[in-house]
Chains A and B, each alone.
Chain A
């Protein structure tokens, strides 16, 4: 028996629906059809009247979730692709994110965002929106990189009394399998040491965790041990774990699949240089996708985003300094 990242997301939704009658699912094509990626497959069969098809109205989908949350519901909204959440941007950053601050009424909604690139997806079906949303106070942004986290962090998100942007990576849907879902170990807000090491730290999240782990293995052959920190949630960001890791290794590579300007890697480097400058033996380095829209052809796409070999190259430069 094994379970994929996608199945874990489905299982978590099943559990959330089973545990709490206040939970419902709303999104395009998620009922009978089971969702564009089948993340809600059979859920409407198992929970009739709890899983609804939405019109193609991302703004209204989020607005309705906020209104429902005020009335005590705990909606899970599925964006068909994270990219389309830009249509609901206003409701996310102005309505949902400000509700508690303004009125003292919590806003327990979870917005699932199928994020990141896959081959042949192109500019409008590949984007990573986590940094955009993390910029706004009042939102929690989670980026699960493992089957376990996909499952537990979704359940945690639904239980949280705040709006959560749940960034699930489409590349991991089928590529990532586990024998079973392990125990619930870390809460939202805590990073995980995905691989311990002594010579350099890679801080990353989501699908890039796996590229980073492969790069670390490659460098192992050269005699270097690389520590990989999986952020798990980019907001809140577990700065203590990052600093502790940099204290052990003295070198930092901040890695992300998203566009380079601003963003999560910039935030990691800002925190380490302002709070842990003295820990560094080399200037911190960052690696992101290229600063262009995300290309369609697999050849272009593969060299647009960081890969095991570009990460390994960056690490070698970092270690040589």
Chain B
């Protein structure tokens, strides 16, 4: 069987342009990490966060390496559960995140939906629903409509999913449709080895998820998702191919989730053995070391960056803490945009 290629970053790829993108992406990763740590502690402290907290610890490199290639406002991005870093890299302000977690009326979801289910669809950032797999066809539809209208240009779409989500019918339907339509879409699969508590062996029977790409007639590559340099290289290539008409691309990143499914979950089902080995590396530490080793940052840069990021997060959270919650008496309780079709008078 001809297996799909696997991407590694060679020293020869390290141009100045690559270095700049690497450092920028690293900053996005760090901001995501610090923000999520803070959200996690707010969650544990209780009282402030509405609902659960879902974090992407260990997945920042893979997520941000995609987000940073996308053009905010012109590309369509459908992030999923663990894409805080990708969202930041794409350009979603962390204000949107904090406002949604705290459920304030000021956020894009106005308290009507929470945590990771946020977005600004008209600005290219789709607002996921919980049902895994269902976003792929929505991204494809956006691209389809643009192609119809003649406004597609070289814009692309991207969406991500976990190993578990790839088992849904919706995922297969959506990917097949995108492939049939030859739409410029990147599907990034974070194989973090567990879907909630279910291990890969109970999720799929093929050797490697990327082998599926061939079955849909699309390009697929595997990448070590703990290594930012390799992730950047893989997504750069995929995005360039998609922009120039190469059709759908699948990228599978191998890693281990370094947190629970949500902050309510201690992930005790992950055996110690899984926590050793390459895929359990912390991508943030790997990227940091890479930058230090190559002389792209020094320890002072690192410390200053950390302070700056923490300040940014703290300020954002204290600002949002003073923002208003939704008021049920002022809420416009209508689910249709056509006000004349809303049934309000029959509440008996």
Question: Which residues does A use to contact B, with CB under 8 Å?
Answer: 21-22, 24, 49-50, 54-55, 57-73, 75, 87, 90-91, 94-95, 97-106, 137-138, 140, 160-162, 188-189, 235-237, 239, 271, 274-275
Tell me how far the C-beta of A173 lies from the nearest C-beta in chain B, rounded to whole angstroms: 27
**Closest residue on chain A to residue B135 by CB atoms:** A63
Q: Decide: B142 and A68 in contact? CB cutoff 8 A.
A: yes
Whose C-beta in chain A lies nearest to the C-beta of B169? Answer: A59
Asked if B336 contacts A162 (CB within 8 A), the reply is yes
A60 proximity list for chain B (CB < 8 A): 136-137, 140, 170, 173-174, 176-177
Q: How far is the CB of A84 from chain B (nearest CB, A)?
A: 12
Q: Which residues of B contact A162 (CB under 8 A)?
A: 336-338, 341
Find chain A residues with CB under 8 A from B337 CB. Answer: 100, 106, 161-162
Contact of B126 among A68, A70, A72, A236 (CB under 8 A): A70
Point out the residues of chain B lying under 8 angstroms from A235, CB to CB. 343
B31 within 8 A of A: no
A-B contact sample (13 more), CB < 8 A, given A70-B121, A103-B121, A239-B343: A55-B180, A63-B136, A63-B137, A63-B141, A68-B148, A70-B126, A70-B138, A71-B76, A106-B337, A140-B341, A162-B341, A189-B341, A275-B346
Neighbouring B residues of A99 by C-beta, 8 Å: 121
Residue numbers in A under 8 Å from B177 (CB-CB)? 54-55, 57, 60-61, 64
Whole-angstrom CA separation of A34 from B137 in the bound complex: 24
Asked if A68 meets B121 with Cβ closer than 8 Å, knowing A59-B134, A59-B137, the reply is no
**Contacts A63-B170, A137-B335, A236-B341 hold; do A72 and B141 have CB atoms under 8 A apart?**
no
Q: What is the number of contacts between chain A and chain B, taking CB atoms within 8 Å?
A: 159
Q: Is B112 a contact partner of A102 (Cβ separation < 8 A)?
A: yes
Min C-beta distance of A245 to chain B, whole Å: 16
Return chain B residues, CB-CB under 8 Å to A59: 134, 137, 169-170, 173-174
Q: Which residues of A contact B170 (CB under 8 A)?
A: 59-60, 63, 90-91
With A97-B335, A137-B335, A275-B346 as known contacts, state yes or no: A71 contacts B173, CB within 8 Å: no
Q: Does B109 reach chain A (CB closer than 8 Å)?
A: yes
Residues of A contacting B148 in the complex (Cβ-Cβ under 8 angstroms): 24, 49-50, 68, 73
With both chains docked as a complex, state the minimum distance between the C-beta of A70 and any C-beta of chain B, in angstroms. 5
Tell whether B120 is near chain A: CB-to-CB under 8 Å. Answer: yes
The chain A residue with its CB closest to the CB of B119 is: A103
B290 within 8 A of A: no
Q: Determine whether B17 belongs to the interface, using a CB cutoff of 8 Å to chain A.
A: no
Q: For the complex, what is the distance from the CA of A100 to the CA of B335, rounded to whole Å?
A: 7
CA distance A249 to B334 in the complex (A): 34
**Do B131 and A94 touch across chains, with their CB atoms under 8 A apart?**
yes
A sample of 7 cross-chain residue pairs with beta-carbon separation below 8 angstroms, ordered by A number, consists of A24-B148, A57-B177, A70-B138, A95-B134, A103-B120, A160-B338, A239-B343
Please determine whether A71 and B338 come into contact, CB atoms closer than 8 angstroms: no
Which residues of A lie under 8 Å from residue B110 when comparing CB positions? 104
Instruction: Assess the B145–A71 pair: CB atoms within 8 A.
Output: yes
Q: Would B140 and A67 count as touching, CB distance under 8 A?
A: yes
Query: Which residues on the B side are within 8 Å of A274 (C-beta)?
Result: 348
The residue of chain B having its C-beta at the shortest distance from the C-beta of A162 within the complex is: B336
Cα separation A260 to B134 with both chains bound (whole Å): 32
What are the residues of chain A within 8 A of B146 when measuring CB–CB?
Answer: 71
B133 to chain A, nearest CB (A): 8
Residues of B within 8 A of A90 (CB): 131, 134, 170
Distance A68 CA – B173 CA, assembled complex (angstroms): 16
**Which residues in B have their C-beta under 8 angstroms from that of A94?**
129-131, 134
Q: Known: A55-B177, A55-B180, A189-B340. Contact between A70 and B122, CB under 8 A?
A: yes
- B305 close to A (CB within 8 Å): no
Is the C-beta of B108 less than 8 angstroms from some C-beta in chain A? yes
In Å, the complex CA distance between A138 and B141 comes to 20
Q: Is the CB of B137 within 8 A of A64?
A: yes
Given A90-B134, A275-B346, decide whether A105 and B122 contact each other with a Cβ distance below 8 A.
Answer: yes
Q: Which of A72, A102, A237 contacts B149 (CB 8 A)?
A: A72
Q: Which 10 residue pairs are nearest across A and B when measured between Cβ atoms? A: A67-B141, A63-B137, A64-B141, A68-B145, A60-B173, A57-B173, A137-B335, A67-B138, A73-B145, A60-B137
- CB-based contact A63/B335 at 8 Å: no
